[in-house]
Amino acid sequence: MLKKSHFILKALLYSYFHKTRILSLISVCLILIGCGAGKPKSSASIQINYLDDYIIPADFNFKRTRIGGLSGIDFDGKYYYVVCDSPSNPRFYQIKIKINQKKIDTITFKKLIELNLASSFIANNIFDLESILYTTENDEFILSSEGAINHHKNPSIIKVDNSGNYLSQYSLPSYFTVEDKQHPRNNGVFEGLSHAINTKGIWSSTELPLTKDGPQPQLYRTKSPVRFTYFNKQLKPEFQFSYLLAPIQKLPYLPFHINGVTDILEISPKQFLVLERSFSAGRGKRSYDVLLFKADASQATNTLSIKQLKGKMKEKVIPAQKEFLFNFKSIKKKLKENKIDNIEGICFGPQLANGNATIFVISDNNFSSFMQQLNQVIWLELQLK
């Protein structure tokens, strides 16, 4: 989730006296770099086709809770599950997406599940929930939380039952904890989760590089690796690889920008769809850029026991290969609000009559009063070449 306080404070530092400097910087950067990802190659292995989108009203309430902050989504074949990243009331919802002739007819909220605060583990931690998986065999849910690094609260991946009761937690390597010298960046940890294709575990992804792994992405290309980790049925980490983030997609007009992985979806063994969401402050409706990549980790180095990636990426660590598939900007004019928002979740949708798979992506509106944002659901078709 993008916390609006991160850039509000920085935006207040912007003044008339900075304008000349920033405009000069913009001119230089436009000469030295080509901002934006452009178009995917026509030979891309997966063709992405827009089907429809749907806006959940920002003022919609369900069972006395405001709908917003929707940061992750999963599908059990009948219902979808969306997670809300409000730490003051960590919760998730069961929803129904009704499809009619390749269009989203309605989205109906069916059930609210709040985390049971009676558990000591829940009560003693901060839950900034970012992703959700539903396991049909046990009727349980797996949730990822970024914790609150600045407040010395660790990130976590936990299991809960269908009533929100805490069951167990996944074992994390020490470098994912606040106590370790190599620790996560605040608001940049377990943003993504995916079921493993082999059905024997799950995958997690961090949004930003760990502090000793590399810098955050900039307008120019950097070596900014995030970590994808495979956890087995015993809730133990078993394999991990690095994935290099793309640069920021456009120049910010105010002094804040970010790019990171917001969610992942394994589509075949060690092959993933990866959402990267970029934000450049001060650009209004054009602040967000969202790109979809295919990551191939079949030849990637196992980084599970490598505590610090910085300085090792060139010689000792082979990251996942990336293939650029889709720029959401290409469908902006087709969308109901003609804008791409803060897309943070991805899951499979129903299979089409032609046999093609589909995906849903969902945006987190940050419960924002600072700028207009959307609870946006977009439906896309995957056409394999």
- Are the C-beta atoms of residues 148 and 98 closer than 8 Å to each other? no
Residue 26's pLDDT is what? 43
- Cα separation of 248 and 271, whole Å? 24
Question: Please, what is the end-to-end C-alpha distance for the chain in angstroms?
Answer: 33
Nearest CA to 204 out of 165, 173, 178 is that of 173
What single DSSP character describes residue 358? E
Residue 30's pLDDT is what? 41
Residue 31: helix, strand or coil by DSSP?
Answer: helix
Pull the structure tokens for residue 118. 């009676």
Pull the structure tokens for residue 262. 């917001």
Average pLDDT over residues 176-181: 96
Nearest CA to 203 out of 226, 175, 174 is that of 226
- The model carries a pTM of 0.92
Residue pointed to by tokens 């608001």: 187
List, for residues 212-269, the tens digit of each pLDDT value: 999 999 999 999 999 999 999 999 999 999 999 999 999 999 999 999 999 999 999 9
Question: Comparing 24-28, 363-367, 381-385, which segment has the lowest mean pLDDT?
Answer: 24-28
pLDDT band at 312 (very low <50, low <70, confident <90, very high): confident
CATH number of the domain encompassing residue 296: 2.115.10
- Cα separation of 186 and 87, whole Å? 14
List, for residues 82-131, the tens digit of each pLDDT value: 999 999 999 999 999 999 989 999 999 999 999 999 999 999 999 999 99
- Cα separation of 158 and 161, whole Å? 10
Average pLDDT over residues 343-362: 97
- Number of other CB atoms surrounding residue 335 within 10 Å: 18
pLDDT band at 201 (very low <50, low <70, confident <90, very high): very high
CA angle 216–221–227, rounded 5-degree value: 45
The whole-chain average pLDDT of the chain stands at 91
pLDDT band at 377 (very low <50, low <70, confident <90, very high): very high
- Cα separation of 283 and 281, whole Å? 6
**Structural domain total, the chain:** 1
Residue 20's pLDDT is what? 36
What single DSSP character describes residue 309? -
Pull the structure tokens for residue 69. 């902050």
Range of the domain at 37: 4-384
What is each CA distance from 50 to 53, 118, 204, 334, 381, in whole angstroms?
A: 9, 44, 27, 8, 6
195 vs 12, residue with greater confidence: 195
List, for residues 25-49, the tens digit of each pLDDT value: 443 444 344 456 778 888 899 999 9
pLDDT band at 161 (very low <50, low <70, confident <90, very high): very high
% residues pLDDT > 90 (the chain): 84
Radius of gyration of the chain (CA): 20
Residue 315's pLDDT is what? 72
Nearest CA to 195 out of 240, 134, 282 is that of 134
- Cα separation of 254 and 110, whole Å? 40
Nearest CA to 53 out of 12, 99, 13 is that of 99
Residue 316's pLDDT is what? 86
293 vs 10, residue with greater confidence: 293
